[in-house]
Structure 1
Amino acid sequence: MDLDTLLALLVFVVANVATAASGALFKPGNWYEGLNHPSFRPPNWLFGPVWTVLYCMIAAAGFLVWREAGWSGAALPLAVYFAHLVLNFAWSALFFGARRPDWAFWEVIALWMSIVATIAVFAPLSTVAAWLLVPYLAWVSFAGFLNWALWRLNPQVLPGPDGAQR
């Protein structure tokens, strides 16, 4: 592997590790455990392994597109890719950091659409890269439904008219 290829791979790995760091910066904690949870909520221990596998797949997808077309040849697909990582990072900040399941729900819809867009712009360059994002889209679909359920089951966590948590 030449130096350019190694550096590109490092960019994708570091970008995904930085995105994943949102889970460490904005932890669920006691607030989350105190919420009413739907019966279909997975056990807490499952989230870490699932996200680890997904972030590896997301990094691999970006790298494959870069390898196929380079930075300039894949400028738009990679811009969409990196924008979607920002949306991914933001969800934890909104849900766990700001404790706003309502804002996080609308944000997860934007994230879902950005994943669809990433798949769409990746597919012409690398079908493997596009398919690597499908499990991620499925998980975010489930996560969006879980977010919606938590929002609906916990209206008391939203700020009142004075801005204070109810």
Structure 2
Amino acid sequence: MQSRASLAFPTRHLAGLLGWLAVCFAAAAVGGFASADAGDFYRELVRPEWSPPAWVFAPAWSLLYLLMGVAAWLVWREHGFRKARTALSLFLIQLAVNALWSWLFFVWHLGAFSFVEVLVLWGLILCTMVAFWRLRPLAGALLLPYLAWVTFASALTYSIWTRNPGLLS
């Protein structure tokens, strides 16, 4: 029979994982709320031929948020928040910046700000990835698909912004 102490250890880690996933998906919800009614606006935009169909974004972002949550959890599990304060703070900051993009683009139609903001996000992701890598290489590696996607999203944001001066200021 397992003691209470041995049962508490995995429960704490599971609670931590669920907590980090909840933080990530809360950020996703904030961004998703901004883009929930953006279908008509998005269809009006002149997009490059390499732009993915709208349905691709939800599953892609869901997978990325899952990977982000696991990465943050790995760092937290191994080092705790105090010892990983810089890395986890960077993570939380980039998550907030991530959520802001949808509001800038879909609600406020600010193309230039959206583009500058996604470049700032890219830099924050890179800093977070390096900070995570130093503490737990797997956690840093889990952010690589996110960085790749935001690289693509940066190019897409620029392309859409410059093709739609009347819709995106």
TM-score by length of 2: 0.90
Q: Does residue 1:12 correspond to 2:20, yes or no?
A: yes
AA aligned to 1:45 is: W
AA aligned to 1:21 is: A
Q: Deviation of residue 4 (structure 1)?
A: 2.7
Given candidates 81, 84, 103, the residue that maps to 1:71 is 81
Structure 1 residue ranges, 4+ long, deviating more than 3 angstroms after superposition: none
Q: Do the aligned residues in 1 keep the contact of 2:90 with 2:124 (CA within 8 Å)?
A: yes
Tell me, which stretches of 5 or more residues in structure 1 are unaligned? 160-166
Given candidates 22, 25, 34, the residue that maps to 2:33 is 25
Q: Deviation of residue 2 (structure 1)?
A: 3.3
SS at match of 2:52: coil
Task: Provide the rounded CA distance (Å) in 2 between the counterparts of 1:64 and 1:158.
Answer: 39
Task: Provide the rounded CA distance (Å) in 1 between the counterparts of 2:142 and 2:11.
Answer: 25
Tell me what 1:162 maps to.
Answer: none
Tell me what 2:105 maps to.
Answer: 95
Q: Do the aligned residues in 1 keep the contact of 2:71 with 2:143 (CA within 8 Å)?
A: yes
Identity rate, percent? 38
AA aligned to 1:108 is: V
Count of aligned positions: 159
Q: Does residue 1:123 correspond to 2:133, yes or no?
A: yes
Task: Provide the rounded CA distance (Å) in 2 between the counterparts of 1:24 and 1:89.
Answer: 8
Q: Deviation of residue 26 (structure 1)?
A: 1.2
Q: Deviation of residue 117 (structure 1)?
A: 0.4
Task: Provide the rounded CA distance (Å) in 1 between the counterparts of 2:31 and 2:75.
Answer: 26
Q: Do the aligned residues in 1 keep the contact of 2:32 with 2:102 (CA within 8 Å)?
A: no
How big is the alpha-carbon RMSD for the aligned residues of Structure 1 and Structure 2?
1.2
SS at match of 2:45: coil
Q: Deviation of residue 110 (structure 1)?
A: 0.6
AA aligned to 2:124 is: S
Task: Provide the rounded CA distance (Å) in 1 between the counterparts of 2:107 and 2:33.
Answer: 8
Task: Provide the rounded CA distance (Å) in 2 between the counterparts of 1:31 and 1:47.
Answer: 15
AA aligned to 2:75 is: V
SS at match of 2:46: coil
Q: Deviation of residue 64 (structure 1)?
A: 0.4
Tell me, which stretches of 5 or more residues in structure 2 are unaligned? 1-8
More helix by share: 2
Q: Does residue 1:41 correspond to 2:51, yes or no?
A: yes
Q: Deviation of residue 32 (structure 1)?
A: 1.6
Tell me what 1:138 maps to.
Answer: 148
Task: Provide the rounded CA distance (Å) in 2 between the counterparts of 1:132 and 1:147.
Answer: 24
TM-score by length of 1: 0.91
Q: Which moved more, 1:134-143 or 1:40-49?
A: 40-49
SS at match of 2:166: helix
Q: Deviation of residue 9 (structure 1)?
A: 1.4
